[in-house]
């Protein structure tokens, strides 16, 4: 899906400088689009003096400074970029070896390379989680936590959410995260287990149709001998048991005519 950007403000560059003025109710991710340039400048819009020194030949490397959340954004981007360089170097150094291993069906070599690459990914994942755990006031933290929800890690998601600063919880991403977390936790909560009945326990009441289509219930049979038979029309073994059950009912009806006999089938 292509992300659509909405134009919220514009500014002209005069003598190599531009300015945006206003106030922000809460931190938000924003981008600056410079006319005629494909790259965009990513920053966090928040109250304070945000400074952007943009080089037209390396727009994507621009670092917003001057406010807490933008400094934290820079710190995490540096961390992310360092691991990206490691991953790119690993791929470059081992691409030929991996291709040779695949062509030769050498699963030992290809498996070892995959394992090494995964170790890099796991290392970055751990660093990201360390950042989340140690920066409860950073706006970027709630954005990083969305990955935990996507992975279905509800335990860590709740742990890190509970530790967030109130200012982050009250942002739009924070509120949306809590909503998704609650929905996933509700879906993952198992239904209460049905009570296990033991021989001699009182049977729970239930209702069903009689052969003539009327509704009757177990409660209506209180004080009467009742046989409950569970069977499926497609199961030959159950059909055989059904016949045996009917024979049992007929035998007891003959032997104890003074009792009222009723059979439920499901």
Q: What is the pLDDT along the chain (266 residues), one digit of tens a residue?
A: 445 667 888 888 888 888 999 888 999 999 988 888 888 899 999 999 999 998 888 888 899 999 999 999 999 999 999 999 999 999 999 999 999 998 999 999 999 999 999 999 999 999 999 999 999 999 999 999 998 888 888 999 999 999 999 999 999 999 999 999 999 988 887 767 666 778 878 778 777 777 777 777 777 777 777 777 666 666 666 666 666 666 666 666 666 655 554 544 44
> Residue 214: what pLDDT?
77
Residues facing 262 on adjacent strands: 226
- The structure's pTM equals 0.66
Cα–Cα distance for residue pair 204/214, rounded to 1 Å: 20
**Which residues have a Cβ under 8 Å from the Cβ of 21 and sit 6 or more positions away?**
none
Helix axes 139-151, 107-134, angle to 10 degrees: 140
> Residue 91: what pLDDT?
93
> Residue 75: what pLDDT?
94
Residues facing 229 on adjacent strands: 265
| Structure token pair of residue 259 | 């009792």
Cα–Cα distance for residue pair 178/163, rounded to 1 Å: 13
> Residue 266: what pLDDT?
47
Of 31, 68, 71, 72, nearest in space to 47 by CA: 68
The single residue listed with the structure tokens 């991403």 is: 173
Name the 3-class secondary structure at 22: coil
> Residue 233: what pLDDT?
63
Cα–Cα distance for residue pair 162/172, rounded to 1 Å: 16
> Residue 1: what pLDDT?
40
């Amino acid at each position: 899906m292509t992300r659509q950007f909405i134009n919220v403000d514009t500014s002209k560059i005069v003598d190599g400088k531009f300015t945006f003025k206003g106030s922000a109710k809460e931190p938000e991710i924003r981008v600056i689009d410079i006319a005629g340039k494909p790259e965009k400048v990513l920053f966090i819009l928040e109250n304070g003096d945000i400074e952007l020194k943009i080089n037209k030949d390396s727009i994507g490397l621009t670092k917003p400074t001057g406010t807490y959340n933008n400094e934290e954004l820079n710190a995490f981007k540096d961390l992310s970029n360092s691991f990206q360089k490691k991953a790119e170097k690993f791929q470059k150094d081992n691409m030929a070896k991996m291709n040779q291993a695949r062509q030769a069906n050498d699963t030992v070599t290809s498996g070892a390379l995959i394992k090494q690459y995964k170790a890099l990914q796991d290392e970055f994942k751990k660093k990201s989680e360390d950042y989340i755990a140690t920066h409860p006031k950073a706006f970027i933290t709630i954005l990083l936590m969305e990955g935990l929800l996507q992975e279905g890690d509800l335990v860590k998601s709740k742990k890190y959410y509970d530790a967030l600063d109130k200012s982050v919880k009250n942002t739009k991403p924070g509120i949306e995260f809590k909503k998704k977390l609650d929905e996933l936790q509700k879906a993952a909560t198992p239904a209460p287990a049905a009570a296990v009945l033991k021989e001699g326990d009182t049977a729970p009441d239930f209702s069903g149709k009689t052969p003539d289509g009327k509704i009757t219930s177990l409660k209506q049979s209180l004080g009467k001998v009742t046989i409950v038979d569970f069977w499926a029309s497609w199961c030959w073994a159950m059909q055989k048991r059904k016949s045996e059950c009917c024979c049992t009912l007929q035998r007891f009806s003959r032997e104890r005519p003074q009792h009222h006999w009723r059979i439920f089938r499901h």
